């Protein structure tokens, strides 16, 4: 019986199979970067932010203009020019304020032409260009304000009206100039420098104060947490505008005042986020193990609590930068920010508001810069929030 059973059963042979890895092993941050790269909008936002930083740093250095250089003869120039050909080699541009500039065929400004005579009875300006009699007739200017179909002016060469031969870009001032003849492009670039300084410095202050404050409050808990939370509630109930006004009285209006005001208030939200993370993390086993081994409170905070809360902290910092940029632009817009001749996106928008009907593009460029910067940081923040969330790991 035993022999029959032995014939039916054979000794099993151990087959060693190679372990198959479904994907390579990645660290938390490597996996976060892998997922972030898949988010096209976040990568686009990151590229735009890098370009903004490089432009803000090197743009004013490369440009031949300074943000404070004024030339009243070149005031309110647009970014696109209607080119009139007076003679074979003479091209002019007629400004909406009825000034004539001699320019090149492709849009470089040469000089402002002075009229030979001005007749305000017939609303005419007479010029002499290369021996030709050129007359700028603007008698229909008032009618054109009521009816846009009416031509505002006529340009006559030896009594014959001429029309624009082309519309070209302004090669001397790519985005035109403001009322004082200052280059709009360099002022927008310098405004980017101001806005990014405010955003990054405010985020640094938020990180240093908010993270430590929130971490201590959440980890210690009890009465300490209650007192520290009441302090945060008190600070958050005072409006930011009141901080700015008080600091302006004590110090002076300017960039330092805005940075101090934002630094005094923005860290509260960061502290609340870190406190919530600390309340959860301090219940983990590795924190209890560190306590058992005799680790100090400072070591537990710096080695365990804060590093494991870095995901929400980084996301919060990224989202606070556009908020700080918009706050600075708003304060500068209402006259509580940087003062002239310094250029900020808010001050540029404020200066352009008075002439929005005549020169709307002067308001367009700083507004567009604010929108692009805020969208870029928000896209990056949304991507970081998704990529740093371990629950979404696949």
Q: Assess contact for 100 and 84: CB atoms under 8 A.
A: no
* Structure token digits, residue 35: 């997922």
CB 308 within 8 A of CB 254: no
Q: Quick check: is 41 in a domain?
A: no
Give kind and range of the element (H or E) at residue 110.
strand 109-112
Q: Which of 56, 71, 337, 359 is nearest to 200 (CA)?
A: 56
CB 195 within 8 Å of CB 342:
no
Does 87 lie in the same domain as 142? yes
Q: Is the backbone of residue 91 left (phi > 0), alpha (psi -120 to 50) or beta?
A: beta
Tens of pLDDT, residue by residue, the chain (394 residues)? 455 555 555 666 655 555 555 556 677 677 778 888 888 999 999 999 999 999 999 988 888 888 888 898 999 999 999 999 998 889 999 998 889 999 999 999 999 999 998 888 788 899 999 889 999 988 877 766 666 667 788 899 988 989 999 999 999 999 999 989 999 999 999 999 988 888 888 888 888 888 999 999 998 888 898 999 998 888 888 887 788 788 877 877 778 888 888 888 888 888 998 999 899 888 888 888 888 888 888 888 888 888 888 888 888 888 888 888 888 888 888 888 777 778 889 889 988 888 888 898 999 999 999 999 999 999 998 888 888 766 555 5
Range of the domain at 387: 184-392
Q: Is 8 inside any structural domain? A: no
Same domain? 190 vs 161: no
* CATH assignment of the domain containing 372: 1.10.3720.10
285 and 387 inside one domain: yes
44 is a domain residue: no
**Long-range contacts of 40-43, Cβ-Cβ distance < 8 Å, separation of 24 or more:** 41/379, 41/382, 41/383, 42/379, 42/380, 42/382, 42/383, 42/384, 42/387, 43/383
Residues 130 and 274 in one domain: no
Q: Provide the token pair at 210.
A: 């908010």
Residues near 256 by Cβ (< 8 Å), separated by ≥ 6?
Answer: none
Measured torsion, CA atoms of residues 156, 159, 161, 162, in degrees rounded to the nearest 10: -70
**Phi/psi at 17 (5° precision):** -100, 140
Which domain-ending residue is among 169, 204, 219?
Answer: 169
Contacts of 217 (CB under 8 A, 6+ apart): 224, 225, 228, 229, 271, 275, 278
Boundary of a domain, candidates 107, 136, 169: 169
CB atoms within 10 A of CB 382: 17
Terminal-residue alpha carbon distance, the chain: 56
Establish if 285 belongs to a structural domain.
yes
> Are 359 and 235 members of one domain?
yes
Do 382 and 306 sit in the same domain of this protein?
A: yes
CA angle 248/251/257 to nearest 5° reads 60
Spatial contact of 348 and 8, defined as CB atoms under 8 Å apart: no
Alpha carbon distance 198, 9 (integer Å): 80
Is residue 129 domain-shared with residue 243, that is, in the same domain? no
Whether the CB-CB separation of 368 and 352 falls below 8 Å is answered with no
DSSP state of 78: -
pTM: 0.83
pLDDT of residue 21: 52
> Residue 93's beta-bridge partner residues?
101
Residue 71, domain member (yes or no): no
Cβ pair 270, 214 in contact under 8 A: yes
Domain count, the chain: 2
**Any bridge partners for residue 320, and if so which?**
none
């Amino acid at each position: 019986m035993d022999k029959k059973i032995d014939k039916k059963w054979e000794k099993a042979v151990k087959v060693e199979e190679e372990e198959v890895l479904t994907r390579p092993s990645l660290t938390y941050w490597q996996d976060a970067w892998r997922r972030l790269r898949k988010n096209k909008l976040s990568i686009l936002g990151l590229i735009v932010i890098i370009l903004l930083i490089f432009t803000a740093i090197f743009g004013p250095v490369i440009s031949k203009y300074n943000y404070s250089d004024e030339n009243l003869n070149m005031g309110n120039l647009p970014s696109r020019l209607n080119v009139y050909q007076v003679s074979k080699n003479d091209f002019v541009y007629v400004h909406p304020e009825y000034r004539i500039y001699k320019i090149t065929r492709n849009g470089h400004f040469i000089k402002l032409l002075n009229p030979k005579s001005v007749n305000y009875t017939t609303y005419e300006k007479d010029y002499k260009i290369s021996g030709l009699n050129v007359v700028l007739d603007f008698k229909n200017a008032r009618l054109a304000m009521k009816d846009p179909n009416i031509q505002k002016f006529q340009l006559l060469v030896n009594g014959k009206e001429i029309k624009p031969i082309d519309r070209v870009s302004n090669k001397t001032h790519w985005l035109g100039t403001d009322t004082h003849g200052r280059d709009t492009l360099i002022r927008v670039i310098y405004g980017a420098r101001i806005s990014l300084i405010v955003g990054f410095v405010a985020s640094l202050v938020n990180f240093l104060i908010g993270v430590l404050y929130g971490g201590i409050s959440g980890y210690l808990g009890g009465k300490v947490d209650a007192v520290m939370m009441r302090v945060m509630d008190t600070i958050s109930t005072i409006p930011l505008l009141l901080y700015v006004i008080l600091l302006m009285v004590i110090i002076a209006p300017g960039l330092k005042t805005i940075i101090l005001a934002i630094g005094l208030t923005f860290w509260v939200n960061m502290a609340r986020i870190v406190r919530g993370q600390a309340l959860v993390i301090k219940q983990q086993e590795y924190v209890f193990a560190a306590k058992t081994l005799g680790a100090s409170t400072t070591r537990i905070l710096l080695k365990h609590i804060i590093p494991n809360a870095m995901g929400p902290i980084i996301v919060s910092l990224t989202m606070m930068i556009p908020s700080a940029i918009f706050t600075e632009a708003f304060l500068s817009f209402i006259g509580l920010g940087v003062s002239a001749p310094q250029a900020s996106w808010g001050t540029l928008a404020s200066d352009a508001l008075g002439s929005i009907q005549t020169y709307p593009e002067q308001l367009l460029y700083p507004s567009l810069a604010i929108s692009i910067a805020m969208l870029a940081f928000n896209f990056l923040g949304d991507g970081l929030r998704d990529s740093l969330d371990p629950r979404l790991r696949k």
